[in-house]
Amino acid sequence: MRTGVIATKLGMSRIFTDEGTHIPVTILQLDECRVVAHKTQAKDGYTALQLGSGKAKLNRVSKPVRGHFAKQKVEPAKKVIEFRVDEKNLLDVGAEITADHFVNGQFVDIVGTTIGRGFTGAMKRWNFSGLEATHGVSVSHRSHGSTGQRQDPGRTFKNKKMAGHYGVERVTIQNLKVVATDPARGLIYVKGAVPGHKGAYVTVKDSVKRLVPANTPFPGKVKTNATVQAPAEAPVEQQAQG
The CATH code of the domain that includes 50 is: 2.40.30.10
* Per-residue pLDDT tens over the stretch 16-36: 988 999 999 999 999 999 999
The answer to whether 112 and 171 are in contact (CB under 8 A) is yes
Residue 137 lies in a domain: yes
Residue 219 lies in a domain: no
- Return the amino acid letter for 189: Y
Residue 240 lies in a domain: no
- Same domain for 21 and 112, yes or no, is yes
Range(s) of the domain holding residue 43: 5-116+170-206
- Same domain for 159 and 174, yes or no, is no
Total domains in the chain come to 2
* Per-residue pLDDT tens over the stretch 182-218: 999 999 999 999 999 999 999 999 999 999 999 998 8
Give me the percent of the chain exceeding a pLDDT of 70.
Answer: 93
What is the per-residue pLDDT for 175?
A: 96
Residue with more model confidence, 231 or 73:
73
Residue 66 lies in a domain: yes
What is the per-residue pLDDT for 152?
A: 86
Tell whether the model's pLDDT for residue 118 goes beyond 50.
Answer: yes
- Count CA atoms closer than 13 A to 190's CA, side-chain side: 30
- Same domain for 76 and 22, yes or no, is yes
- Same domain for 66 and 174, yes or no, is yes
- Same domain for 131 and 84, yes or no, is no
- Same domain for 160 and 67, yes or no, is no
Instruction: Summarize the confidence of residues 118-135 as an average pLDDT.
Output: 95
Give me the percent of the chain exceeding a pLDDT of 90.
Answer: 68
Tell whether the model's pLDDT for residue 63 goes beyond 70.
Answer: yes
Residue 146 lies in a domain: yes
What is the per-residue pLDDT for 190?
A: 96
Q: Which among 139, 164, 147 is positioned nearest to 131, based on CA atoms?
A: 139
* Per-residue pLDDT tens over the stretch 76-116: 999 999 999 998 898 988 899 999 999 999 999 999 999 99
Report residue 58's pLDDT band, with 50, 70 and 90 as the boundaries.
Answer: confident
d(CA 204, CA 110): 5
What is the per-residue pLDDT for 241?
A: 54
Mean of all residue pLDDT scores within the chain: 89
Would you call 175 exposed, middle or buried from its count of C-beta atoms within 10 A (0-12, 13-18, 19+)?
A: middle
What is the per-residue pLDDT for 50?
A: 93
Residue 220 lies in a domain: no
What is the per-residue pLDDT for 228?
A: 46
The answer to whether 139 and 131 are in contact (CB under 8 A) is no
Tell whether the model's pLDDT for residue 229 goes beyond 80.
Answer: no
Report residue 235's pLDDT band, with 50, 70 and 90 as the boundaries.
Answer: low
